Amino acid sequence: MKFSKTSQAVLVSAIGLLAAAYLTACQLVTIDYVFVAASAGSTAGSAGQIYTYAVDSESGALRTGPPAVSSGGTSPVAMAATADFANLYVANQGNNSVVHFAIAANGVLTQKDTITTAQPPVGLYANSKGTDLYVITGATSATLTEYPLSSGTIGSAAATESLTVPGFTGDTVIPTAVNVLPNGSAVYVTAYDQSAYNPGGVATSNANPGWIFAFAVGSGGALTPTSGEPYEAGVKPTAVASDPVNRFVYATDYASNQLIGYAVQTGGGLNFLVNGPFKTGNEPTGVVVDPRGIYVYLANSLDSTVSAYTIALPTGTPTAVLSTTGSTLNATDTQPVSIVVDPSLGRYVYTANHLGNSISGFRLDPNTGALKPTQSTPYPTGANPTAILAVPHGNHATQTVTP
């Protein structure tokens, strides 16, 4: 059968339209970039690396993004970003450094400036205005240091607070995590008294082991301990997060397998939620509140799971969410130690799995908070990842809502 030139043109046009429609339907749209800090090699002391992944909007699956970059040191343990998602900071314990990177719209990281800390850094957090970076340090003592930020560049220390347990000032206090309220009015640091809690060693103190230290942030960034701080936080608190409207704070207790909730008081002080603490999986090490402020997710390192909870908005009480299999736990790869919810849609949850050398991904049901695995999870990383962070794609608006 022969076609006229006109018929051929129509046919070619139709085929082109069909092909275009097919490609558009199959097009992978990136909504976020996920960054993971890990060791480059399999041996202790290997140089740190930051790996970048692109999040697919439809499935939540991760694709390899721009090439990995050096973390600027060894043994990276924590990362933070400014609220405008233009700057990333990584804490390297191996060489006592905090390194600043600029984040491009396409997810490319460019190293900028570096500071050296007196003790190994443990955690860090940037306030919502992008004016201050809070760093906790210490292997034998605990210190909170506030650094001013200027267009992302880290300035000289503006304030320093030593963290000691009242009545037990000679005890060894080990910091574990830091968080800043979204309105920037208070800073919280979790820590434990190693003199009182020392598995495999000798306890030399009868102090309560777990604590949250709290500081109100005043004019010019001045730090003032809140009334009644520090606040008891179980045995070994390992992570801390706050909700997006500055009402509640949640801390994980690694040693007691529980989540401890607090209501934020005027001035930044904390009161226990009356019906807590709340049961978790084994050895929870990471906690995150979703961008809407209605779900909490925990990474449980020992049993390699994620726990999901709904937040009762009037009280802050978390209630366990059942998975699609009827369990309160969602399986990850081996030993998740850090957890994040994507900031663009608030629909995907990811964990950095330290012994699995991988990221596990979950799709979040916005109506219930339940999780189910994303396509092709887990996703391989470098050796022994320790921290995970997500930022919106440069061309995608952040879609978050608050209660």
Q: What domain range is 280 assigned to? A: 28-392
Tokens of 279: 């049961």
Which residue(s) pair with 362 in the sheet?
A: 349, 373
90 within 8 A of 81, measured Cβ to Cβ: no
Amino acid 1: pLDDT: 42
From the list 389, 329, 384, 333, the residue with the least C-alpha distance to 359 is: 333
* Token couple for 162: 């030593």
The candidate with the shortest Cα–Cα distance to 391, out of 81, 23, 71, is 81
In a domain, 8, yes or no: no
Considering only CA atoms, which of 124, 120, 66, 118 is closest in space to residue 92?
A: 120
In a domain, 6, yes or no: no
Long-range contacts of 105-111 (CB under 8 A, 24+ apart): 105/393, 105/394, 105/395, 106/66, 106/394, 107/33, 107/52, 107/54, 107/65, 107/66, 107/391, 107/393, 107/394, 108/52, 108/66, 109/35, 109/50, 109/52, 109/66, 109/69, 111/69, 111/70, 111/72
CATH code of the domain containing 183: 2.130.10.10
Radius of gyration of the chain (CA): 22
Domain assignment of residue 373, yes or no: yes
DSSP state of 268: G
- In a domain, residue 240? The reply is yes
Reading the chain (403 residues) residue by residue, the pLDDT tens digits are 444 444 444 443 443 333 333 333 445 799 999 999 998 765 555 689 999 999 999 999 999 999 999 999 999 999 999 999 999 999 999 999 999 999 999 999 999 999 999 999 999 999 999 999 999 999 988 999 999 999 999 999 999 999 999 999 999 999 999 999 999 999 999 999 999 999 999 999 999 999 999 999 998 899 999 999 999 999 999 999 999 999 999 999 999 999 999 999 999 999 999 899 999 999 999 999 999 999 999 999 999 999 999 999 899 999 999 887 788 999 999 999 999 999 999 999 999 999 999 999 999 999 999 999 999 999 999 999 999 999 998 654 554 544 4
Give 22's contacts (C-beta < 8 A, 6+ positions apart).
none
Q: Is the peptide bond before 230 cis (omega within 30 degrees of 0)?
A: yes
- Residue 397 in any domain: the answer is no
355: left (phi over 0), alpha (psi -120 to 50) or beta: alpha
Instruction: Please provide the DSSP assignment of 47-111 as one string.
Output: EEEEEEEEEETTT--EEE-SPPEEEEEESEEEEEE-TTS-EEEEEETTTTEEEEEEE-TTS-EEE
Contact 139, 127 (CB under 8 A): no
The tokens of 35 are what?
């960054």
Q: How far apart are CA 338 and CA 341, in angstroms?
A: 11
CA distance 229 to 88: 30
pLDDT of residue 286: 98
Q: What are phi and psi of 134, to 5 degrees?
A: -105, 125
267 near 216, Cβ under 8 Å? yes
Report yes or no on 262 lying in a domain. yes
* Cβ neighbours of 40 (radius 10 Å): 17
Beta strands in 223-346 (DSSP E): 223-225, 231-232, 237-242, 248-253, 258-264, 270-272, 278-279, 284-289, 295-300, 305-311, 318-320, 329-331, 336-341
Residue type, 290: D
Please state the domain count of the chain. 1
Q: Which residues, 6+ apart, have CB-to-CB distance to 66 below 8 Å?
A: 52, 106, 107, 108, 109
Q: Does 47 fall in a domain? A: yes
- Cα–Cα distance measured from residue 236 to residue 63, given in angstroms and rounded to the nearest whole number: 35
The residues that bridge with 237 in the sheet, in sequence order, are 253
pLDDT value at residue 40? 73
Both structure tokens of 376: 């092709």
Closest listed residue to residue 166, CA positions, set 230, 96, 255: 230
Residue 82 has a pLDDT of 97
E-only strand ranges, 82-185: 87-92, 97-103, 109-116, 121-126, 132-137, 143-150, 153-154, 159-162, 173-180
pTM: 0.91
Does residue 371 lie in a domain region? yes
